[in-house]
Chains A and B, each alone.
Chain A
């Protein structure tokens, strides 16, 4: 009887998990495994037989200066995104976490860009950055500053994209941080105020250390996002140009696969990116939560 029960329990577990697991295997795990396999082949995507080339794709990648340029650019984008979104999110979240009339209104407004699709954001900001009719240059004109070529000049394009992505995403991280702050017991703040009245000291010595895990989640999401979601925004707005000044790794892979038909090679770069990201996530989680990260 007891044994019988266990078997039926096992059947329940399997049948309940199977639908989700099969999608997971078919559309996540299998592509990863297949990508690793294809990375050892030379293939244009059309010819019947991919040709086994061993590690040649990886060799080629390590010796391609454009790959390294894209990788470095992407790392730069990670740090620029962290450096803009995180302080902004933390600062505004701490202002919003205090009581007062209108806080809900501000919170609602600051989160709105999250509702727009990346394409809508990208096309909107292309209009804003338009050299003649755009919002940005007309505003600068009001202040007597000359026109800037926001997206057309390779010295400005990356900054312009970072401004747009910060505008898009800071609200999301602000909400995350607010949720983290609301979990900090008020008594801790009351005790701290006996020591100091300086809000900055309280912020840096109480709030930030206690927010550690929430900040960690934002850091991971911003870092992987710079390799994943930003790709869509960059592709809509600049397609990696001008003169490759915004060609992050995802765009490099896309161009190699769909413009040059180096399918095997593109798979090798994608696999490398996946490994790098998995390492970053693992290290961040380890480093960030010494005591506990229970699931």
Chain B
């Protein structure tokens, strides 16, 4: 009896702490959501609790600014292109480093690892100067930006995919070779499909960091029409000022893609983040 009672109290304490932490985490976001559905008058009168009525005028107002469509399209374009490039070249490199030992393979791997630990944001000014010399700024800023974003995500991609390919047994590759597969075919038709679930996770993680990327875009993108969504949010902040309901609606709209992904793939995302620490 004694013991049972003590254990129960411990559980109560544990659940209280976890509940408190969850409330502190989620309440600001809950506040943001309720804000987006308020009229401005409702917000000034009672900024807390539930709104009086679900008012969708803020979302309509945000949609009616033509620029947000541009920002969305720009974000989709840049994130999409970067994802395609980084997934292709990153998994190919990760695969090579997982299967072939040669002079310098360790150094190459450490070099990629370095760009993961000290990300390209640290050298954003040298990067900017170099892009300027390469002619990848101004009208061609998207080329420079995509290159920089590939560089930002490449280290993680090589690191994780190398881990996934290591988990696939050598016999499968040997069998494919015996069947007359070229190395490239063996990679695309045998190894890549086998590592599929890991690469899906990797792509989701990369999507999230690319979609949300801010500072490189800020430095590299020259004009408003070329803004991505995160830059667009600072634009809306400037335009709406303290019209918090409309600003909240803009934040929510920009956030929807990653939050949706999280709701569908939360198990995989969380497992992927956990694995990104191991696999070394």
Query: In the complex, are the beta carbons of A27 and B125 less than 8 A apart?
Result: no
> In angstroms, how far is the closest chain A Cβ from the Cβ of B86?
8
Interface range, A side: 35 or more
Query: In the complex, are the beta carbons of B244 and A127 less than 8 A apart?
Result: yes
Which listed residue (A133, A224, A258) contacts B43, Cβ 8 A? Answer: A133
B122 within 8 Å of A (CB atoms): yes
Which listed residue (B18, B110, B230) contacts A92, Cβ 8 A? Answer: B18
Instruction: List the B side residues contacting A13 at CB < 8 Å.
Output: 96, 100, 102
A116 within 8 Å of B (CB atoms): yes
Assembled-state Cα–Cα distance A273/B31 (Å): 38
> In angstroms, how far is the closest chain B Cβ from the Cβ of A97?
11
Query: How many residues on chain B are close to A (CB under 8 Å)?
Result: 103
Query: In the complex, are the beta carbons of B14 and A257 less than 8 A apart?
Result: no
Assembled-state Cα–Cα distance A34/B115 (Å): 16
Main secondary structure of the interface of B (DSSP, over half): helix
A61 within 8 Å of B (CB atoms): no
Query: In the complex, are the beta carbons of A228 and B214 less than 8 A apart?
Result: no
B262 within 8 Å of A (CB atoms): yes
Query: In the complex, are the beta carbons of A267 and B129 less than 8 A apart?
Result: yes
> In angstroms, how far is the closest chain B Cβ from the Cβ of A12?
5
Query: In the complex, are the beta carbons of B121 and A228 less than 8 A apart?
Result: yes
Given A95-B17, A124-B251, A224-B118, A32-B125 contact (CB < 8 Å)? no
Given A108-B266, A224-B122, A31-B112 contact (CB < 8 Å)? no
Query: In the complex, are the beta carbons of B280 and A16 less than 8 A apart?
Result: no
Instruction: List the B side residues contacting A27 at CB < 8 Å.
Output: 120, 127, 147-148, 150-151
Beyond the given pairs A24-B111, A109-B25, A213-B280, 11 more chain A to chain B contacts, judged by CB atoms under 8 angstroms and listed by A's residue number, are A24-B154, A109-B26, A117-B229, A120-B233, A124-B28, A127-B247, A232-B121, A235-B215, A253-B124, A270-B122, A295-B113
A interface, CB within 8 angstroms of B: 9-10, 12-13, 16-17, 19-21, 23-24, 26-32, 34-35, 38, 45, 92, 95-96, 98, 100, 102, 106-120, 123-128, 130, 133, 135, 138, 167, 171-172, 175-176, 178-180, 182-183, 199, 213-214, 217, 220-221, 224, 227-229, 231-232, 235-236, 250, 253-254, 257-258, 263, 266-267, 270-271, 273-274, 277-278, 281, 293-295
